[in-house]
Chain A
Amino acid sequence: MRNPQLNKHGELQHLLTLDGLPRDVITAILDTAAPFTEVAEREVKKLPLLRGKSIFNLFFENSTRTRTTFEIAAKRLSADVVNLNVSTSSTAKGESLLDTVDNLCAMQADMFVVRHAASGAPVLIAQHLQATARDHIHVVNAGDGRHAHPTQGLLDMYTIRHYKRDFSNLVVAIVGDVLHSRVARSQIAALTTLGVPEVRVIGPRTLLPTEVEKLGVRVFHDMSEGLRDVDVVMMLRLQNERMNGALLPTPQEYYKIWGLTQEKLALARPDAIVMHPGPMNRGVEIDSAVADGAQAVILPQVTFGIAVRMAVMSMLAGQ
């Protein structure tokens, strides 16, 4: 069973997940991203690395933010970008996922940036391309179900490295709805691969996956214990539809117990940074005073995200 994101030489062919991605590959992506952060500060924010390449943003699930950052990253690399919101076009007419892909391949796509509500959809596309000998086409997972959001995980690693320099002495806490979060899975995979000695997850039992400890994390249910002496707090978004029901009673109770306030943050190390993948629910998982506070690095995450996506796309499809 070949790792579907590596080619037969073990090189990165697609970016589908951070789970199982070798440490040196992750580090290489972060290293490649570093100079790209400067491109944004130039008068002409463009590099010719992907000139003439066609990148299809294939979004089967709505997203404005992630799609936009991929689009900006691709355009800064001089690629031609086509945005397809497939949830409103072909699959609604009954076309299968792979039929859609085949049609776009026939339009000479060089790369697909895929978001899909089902875990594993980009893996399926990558396997399909491999089975049909179209190894020149690359797939970047822009979020699939609960499975993975590798570029988010990478930009989070970039952010941590930017502020903390070294992963080998950190305590990192991931707080909130880990169960439904592809972001959390990618973060856990990257943090453990990069050698973070202690990764914690904090949340109610209803929002933590079964046997999550086997992913290499310590489980906490209590914020005051879980946040103690951490260097990095990674908050997760709580989806609206999960706030009232069988998973949680109310957003108010959630905020009271697991919402990140200044008071709870004070239990972390004084130089701890606070991250959030966005969009935030202020007053549910995070208090505005923290979100806008001195320890928050939430907006730099967005900026770094473009550089990291440029790095991924140029490493996959660049000359």
Chain B
Amino acid sequence: MIRLQNVSKRYKTAAGIRTILDDVSITFPKGHSVGILGMNGAGKSTLIRIIGDAEPADSGRIIRDCKVSWPLGFTGGFQSNMTARENARFVARIYGESTDYVEQFTEEFAELGKYFDVPLRSYSAGMRGRFAFSVSLACNFEYYLVDEALETGDARYREKFRRAFEERREQASMILVSHNEQTIRRNCDMAAILYDGKIEMYDDLKEAMRFYKLLQTRAA
């Protein structure tokens, strides 16, 4: 379970103070994968970074009683002058996993071939995504925080990752941020909508989608 209690987050920008989260309280129940819907710039990525403790909130508490992954996304995480192998071992060490196991699993699952021993800076976005997902799968998290990144990589690899994830659905849940309804429908069984600093949880995916469409048309 992950619970946010009265969490607020604001940014000072040139255009004034932007409120991303305004006294938000929400619970992500165990065993459910939650998709977070929100328009561009609503603060979805910030939200997932706060959930993953990669960024502090201004106020409020965040309670995590399980093993939460780092926010998986395009940016963040890996040092680009280190090879995939070194990065994998680094991740294993900081999460207290067996370095050999993580290294081996990642090497097999990511299918990067010779590139596994090449510094990450020469990777394409798709390869980086593949690597990030493989390492995180090797670590056996209970919560995977995914930031849009499911759309990277080719279709075959996306499918492979989804199947691997499906297999461990019993132990692992996902919090997925996306503005793509398709991605959320395929991976999640609940959805939350982030809008104007507030967040609303929907048990029913269909209802969330309907409401999200409504929001989009109203905004446009």
| A and B associate in one complex | no
